[in-house]
Amino acid sequence: MREFRRSRRRAVAGAVAAALAITAGPVGCDAPPGADRGPVKRPKPSPTRVWDRAPGSLAAVGDSITRGFDACSLFADCPEVSWATGTDTAVRSLALRLLGTAAGAPPGPEPPPAGRPGGGAAPPQNPPPAAAPRRAWNHARSGARMADLPAQMTAAADRGPELVTVMVGANDACRDTPAQMTPVAEFTESFTAAMRSLRRTAPKTHVYVSSVPDLKRLWSTGRGNPLGKQIWKLGICASMLGDADDLGPAAQERRALVHDRVVAYNRALRDVCAKDLRCRYDGDAVFDYRFTGEQLSPWDWFHPSRNGQSRLAEIAYRNITAARPPE
């Protein structure tokens, strides 16, 4: 009988200990379901990129390409044929394609099938030439390098544009020798500073960044023209175009250095742009475009001709109005 009572007491004690353990909860382990765990930390959602496919005003910054240099005459700007802000209806600048339509000009035709030369949607029908200039400003300067961009961006921001176009970098690679090319780190710092300059006074302005053209491809295309090669001897982009017919190892290495630097500049443009929620890079569209003799200036066989300016406008219009950014 005594043994039976001891066994019973041990059983009761064990049951009580088990109940206390459950009540107190496990030590050093997760709390049971329903227990108060405190605030739950959730991952922050990624910021949403913002893009306006139909801006109502634009300012252009950059270099001689955006100034229409050598498109109309030798060694002269011709801003009326600029791909960005020009008024020439034969070129159909980005400003005319975007702002002319916004100002009440008839909309353009439907985009053609894939494979259209130059890529992308056909431009709208010619809007009235006066429609764009009232809301388009060209702050580019022939000869400008990336170090000049912060000041241009400040001037552009003062206009309060809904879109700023950027095309700069060729002059950073086009120097007397490859050793004089702008270092990539310096190029990147200047572009970052330019974006900061814009954002100080224009936080909601959208920015479209064009890639630097493939200078080596321009050399390959233009060197077949005897007149063009004579003009090149005057010092146009000597790091790439100098001794145009020299195919020896040293000349090839020099051109390869310039080509690689342009590729690095484009990566910098892409990476800095990617950090800004209202910036869109062209996905190397200008760099990849295969300019022909028809698209090169008849004066220097290096800068874009009227036709080349029109192709640049077409590329920009396609990318700016696209629902998604270029890959």
Question: Which residue segment(s) compose the domain that 78 sits in?
Answer: 58-321
pLDDT at 42: 67
Tell me, yes or no, whether 47 lies in a domain: no
Task: Look up residue 300 and give its two tokens.
Answer: 């220097």
CATH code: domain of residue 276: 3.40.50.1110
CA distances from 33 to 20, 23, 37, 170 (A): 18, 13, 9, 64
Tell me, yes or no, whether 20 lies in a domain: no
CA distances from 101 to 84, 90, 112, 132, 140 (A): 15, 16, 18, 9, 24
DSSP 152: H
pLDDT at 111: 35
The mean-pLDDT minimum among 10-24, 27-41, 199-213, 222-236 falls in 10-24
DSSP letter string over 258-296?
Answer: HHHHHHHHHHHHHHHHHTSTTEEE-TTHHHH----GGGB
Distance CA 127, CA 134 (A): 13
pLDDT at 115: 34
Distance CA 110, CA 113 (A): 9
Distance CA 98, CA 56 (A): 8
Distance CA 95, CA 100 (A): 7
pLDDT at 2: 44
Q: Model confidence over 216-255: pLDDT tens digits?
A: 999 999 998 998 899 999 989 999 999 999 999 999 999 9
Tell me, yes or no, whether 39 lies in a domain: no
The span from the first CA to the last CA of the chain, in angstroms, equals 87
pLDDT at 113: 35
Number of domains in the chain: 1
Task: Calculate the average pLDDT of the chain.
Answer: 84
Q: Among 167, 294, 168, 302, which residue's Cα sits nearest to residue 236?
A: 302
Give mean pLDDT, residues 40-67: 87
pLDDT at 21: 44
Q: Tell me, yes or no, if the pTM score tops 0.85.
A: no
CA distances from 307 to 132, 147, 199 (A): 20, 29, 34
Tell me, yes or no, whether 50 lies in a domain: no
Q: Model confidence over 58-103: pLDDT tens digits?
A: 999 999 999 999 999 989 999 999 999 999 999 999 999 999 844 3
Asked if pLDDT for residue 270 goes beyond 60, the answer is yes
Tell me, yes or no, whether 109 lies in a domain: yes
Tell me, yes or no, whether 135 lies in a domain: yes
Please state the φ and ψ torsions of residue 41, each to the nearest 5 degrees: -85, 120
Asked if pLDDT for residue 19 goes beyond 60, the answer is no
Tell me, yes or no, whether 18 lies in a domain: no
Please state the φ and ψ torsions of residue 249, each to the nearest 5 degrees: -55, -40
The mean-pLDDT minimum among 9-13, 240-244, 249-253, 321-325 falls in 9-13
Tell me, yes or no, whether 98 lies in a domain: yes
pLDDT at 279: 98
DSSP H helical segments within the chain, as ranges? 2-24, 94-95, 101-102, 149-158, 170-173, 184-201, 215-222, 226-232, 238-241, 249-274, 285-288, 306-321
